[in-house]
């Protein structure tokens, strides 16, 4: 075999074994990244949800700012669910990697609801915020029920 062929085969073998978490240095980093993004999203969403539920005084500016952060954060976790990131300190169920279309559909539904919440919060109408909080919370729950352990 020529040297060129050897090199071509070696790089092909490398490409075939490099998993989708390659954008992260190691699978643990991907797990930490998605948990961190979801945590920051949840902290901001919960602040708005507390106002919508009458558990915190309504502050339109805080609600709008928090919802905007939650909306941005909602876009981030999904790139960190690559192949090989189903292990370690994660409550992600293995079904995620077997039902990727459905998982994607749920994640996109949540992002869409979170965007509607950000729009509602920007508008400053508490009733509209309440409706959007309920829809967004429902989209969190749908995915957790299917794809999160416990
Ligand atoms: C939250 C949170 C969730 C969702 C979900 C809504 O604040 O941490 O996972 O809302 O409980 O049903």
Compute the distance between CA of residue 42 and CA of residue 26 in angstroms, rounded to an integer.
25
pLDDT per residue as tens digits for the range 60-96: 999 999 999 999 999 999 999 999 999 999 999 999 9
Q: Which atom in ligand 1 lies closest to the alpha carbon of residue 45?
A: 7
For residue 14, the Cα-to-chain-centroid distance in whole angstroms is 29
Q: Which atom in ligand 1 lies closest to the alpha carbon of residue 138?
A: 12
Residue 19's CB is within 10 A of a number of other CB atoms, namely 12
Residue with tokens 């409706």: 131
pLDDT of residue 3: 61
Compute the distance between CA of residue 30 and CA of residue 36 in angstroms, rounded to an integer.
10
Q: Are 80 and 37 in contact (CB under 8 A)?
A: yes
Alpha-carbon torsion angle 34, 39, 44, 45, nearest 10: 80
pLDDT per residue as tens digits for the range 3-47: 666 656 655 555 555 454 568 999 999 999 999 999 999 999 999
Test site for ligand 1: of 35, 41, 42, 140, most ligand atoms within 8 A of the Cβ: 140
pLDDT of residue 150: 86
Q: Which atom in ligand 1 lies closest to the alpha carbon of residue 144?
A: 9
């Amino acid at each position: 075999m020529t040297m060129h062929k050897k090199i071509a085969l070696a790089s092909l073998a490398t490409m075939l074994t490099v998993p989708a978490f390659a954008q992260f240095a190691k699978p643990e980093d991907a797990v930490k990244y998605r948990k961190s993004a979801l945590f920051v999203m949840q902290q901001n969403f919960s602040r708005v949800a507390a106002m919508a539920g009458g558990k915190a005084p309504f502050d339109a500016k805080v609600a709008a700012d928090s919802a905007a952060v939650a909306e941005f954060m909602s876009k981030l976790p999904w790139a960190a669910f690559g192949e090989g990131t189903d292990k370690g300190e994660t409550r992600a169920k293995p079904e995620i990697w077997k039902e990727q279309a459905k998982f994607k559909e749920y994640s996109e539904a949540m992002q869409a609801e979170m965007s509607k919440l950000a729009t509602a919060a920007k508008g400053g109408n508490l009733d509209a915020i309440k409706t959007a909080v309920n829809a967004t919370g429902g989209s969190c729950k749908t995915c957790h029920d299917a794809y999160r352990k416990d």
